[in-house]
Structure 1
Amino acid sequence: GRNIFLSSREIMINSFVKILLGFYFISSVIIGQNYSNLNITTDNETSMIYINGKLIGTKTVNTSLAPGNYEILIVERERGWNAQRIIDTIIVNNSSETFNRNYRFKNSVLLKTNPQNVYIYHNDSLYAFSPAKLDVSLNTVKLLKTNFRSKFVELADIKPEIPVALEFTGTNKKEHFVDSPWFTVLLSSTVLFGATAVYYKIQADQKYDRYKISMDRNLLKDIDRYDLYSGIAFGLLQFNFGYLIYEFLFESP
């Protein structure tokens, strides 16, 4: 009877030891899983901060990360026209670290003109139509518009609340604008540019939705290209529409 009792006691002791060892192993794994701190700050109140495709916050984010690879995407504003994007990668090892990231977008200024829809040239290339948000690093741009004197502008001296005025050099038209072939051309092209802008904007949005799911960087090139096409078409649309309004209000007899 004593041998049976000793065997049972040994079995209980062995079981208890195994439970302790298992608890110790699990605790060691949990304790050994060190988390790192990530602090992100940006210089834009409307910036959207994504980590591995998931929206984490806006402007400023403080979070903890387990070991692994993380892709950070900062978008200047949610689906704005030609929104700036910043992409970064962080590798977190199995050790407690603190990552501090401060992201800054390119300094820009809003250029307004009087009249509007003025051609904006940089280095002899058409860059945009007014009003437009321009990178200050462009330094100097040239403003051109038919029947107005051209003008060079230093972007560092621009005040967004004060439009840059161009001197009118043209003459009043005697022909009624609505009866001219030019009216038909402008009206037709306005419809075409509007449809083109909407088409490429939809394509860009669809690519962006796919990117948030797959995180395929190759899609970013397509997004930027479609945004560019849409922006150009929208600029041409603004120019045509602005010119039509201008003709009706100021130049038509």
Structure 2
Amino acid sequence: MNFDLSIFWEYLLRPSSVYLHGLWLTLSVSVIAQAFGTALGLFIALAQISKFSALRVPARVFVWAFRGTPLLVQIVFIYTGLAAANLFRFEDIDLGLFILPGNIQAGILALTLNEAAYMAEIIRAGIGSVGVGQTEASKSLGMTYPLYMRRIILPQAARVVIPPLGNEFNAMLKNTTLLSVIGVPELLLATQMVTSVTFRVFELYLVVACYFLTLTTLWGFVQQRIERRFGDPAARVVAQQSPSIFRKMFGLGEGRETR
């Protein structure tokens, strides 16, 4: 195997502007799509538990459709399929400071809709974990539905939702690589452009793997801190007694008795 270690370290420690742009695009698309997907998922979750079938049925069909089809198919359908059918075409938008290309708009929309379907189920389960007695007590105090959902139910459900929310963002970081099929120059497509010039495929794909491993590891630390700060008190005690992220990754200290 012709592995050039110098090229690997060169692109890993001193990435080119193409890599840096791909890294920035990966992070920005992930954050935007996760934020919009979580917000939309909240409304879909509330629609799913609504007593009105006009809200409940479309919400359940949405979740069924987007959870039951591959994300790659959704991305291609939204960007290419809609344009081929002359239903909608994503045009570049001039935002003043920068131009937002149509393929990035389609990618963010596809990731948002897909994430909303999964977050809707996570939030619905979080709401269901709150005791029914608290809902009845809120009603007996004269609280309206929006009021007791905002003050009583959702804050408690958030403690259950936060851990899987962190896992979803971890997956979102990796799912951005699928946007390369519609020409979004995120990390994977940036690597493909560099390999087409240098022909150092193994070294550069190993570099992009290290980049994603670094991103997900750093987010693991952030997620652990968030869970300990805002998670359920009982789960917080378990988290404090559980092994650190390094122990989880490398199996250090396994088999020791916890006192």
TM-score range, shorter chain: under 0.3
Please identify the structure whose Cα radius of gyration is greater.
1
The higher-RCO structure (CA 8 Å, 6+ apart) is 2
Higher strand proportion = 1
TM-score (norm 1): 0.25
